[in-house]
Amino acid sequence: MTMDNPKKIDFKRLPMMWSFILLGLFALMVLGIVEFVKPLRAELNYRDGYFHFFHKQYDKAVFSLQKAVDYAPWETHYRVQLGKSYEKAAEIVTDRTLKLKLLEQAKLEYERIVEIDGRNPWYLNRLGAINQAFAKVNTEKQSVYLDFAHKYIKMAADNDRNNPLFQMNMAFFYHKTGFFDKAENYYKKALAIDVRLSEASYNYAELLLKKGDSLNAYQMYKNVYDRSPNFGKAAEILADLSIKLEKYSETEVFLKTAVEKDPTNKSALQNFIIVLFKLNEYQKVVDLYDLNRNVIGMDNSGIYKLYVQSLIDSGQLNRGKEALEEYISVYPENITAKKDLESLTNFIRTH
- What pLDDT is recorded for position 40? 81
Render pLDDT for 242-271 as a digit per residue (tens, 0 to 9): 888 888 888 888 998 999 999 999 999 999
Task: Check if the beta carbon of residue 236 is closer than 8 Å to that of residue 258.
Answer: yes
pLDDT exceeds 50 at position 130: yes
Summarize the confidence of residues 285-306 as an average pLDDT.
93
Tell whether pTM > 0.95: no
pLDDT exceeds 70 at position 17: no
DSSP string, 214-239: HHHHHHHHHHHHHH-TTSTTHHHHHH
- What pLDDT is recorded for position 1? 46
Summarize the confidence of residues 80-106 as an average pLDDT.
95
Does domain 39-160 correspond to CATH entry 1.25.40.10?
Answer: yes
3-state secondary structure 177-218: CCCHHHHHHHHHHHHHHCCCCHHHHHHHHHHHHHCCCHHHHH
Low-confidence winner among 9-13, 90-94, 240-244, 336-340 (lowest mean pLDDT): 9-13
> Strand, coil or helix: what is 130?
helix
Side-chain-facing half-sphere of 101: CA atoms under 13 Å: 6
Give the residue among 98, 94, 92, 68 at the shortest CA–CA distance from 80: 68
Residue 326 makes CB contacts below 8 A (sequence gap 6+) with 298
Measured between alpha carbons, how far is 108 from 268 in angstroms, rounded to an integer? 46
pLDDT exceeds 90 at position 166: yes
Residue ranges covered by each domain of the chain = 39-160
pLDDT exceeds 50 at position 53: yes
Measured between alpha carbons, how far is 81 from 75 in angstroms, rounded to an integer? 11
- What pLDDT is recorded for position 30? 47
Query: What is the average pLDDT score of the chain?
Result: 89
Give the residue among 123, 141, 121 at the shortest CA–CA distance from 84: 123
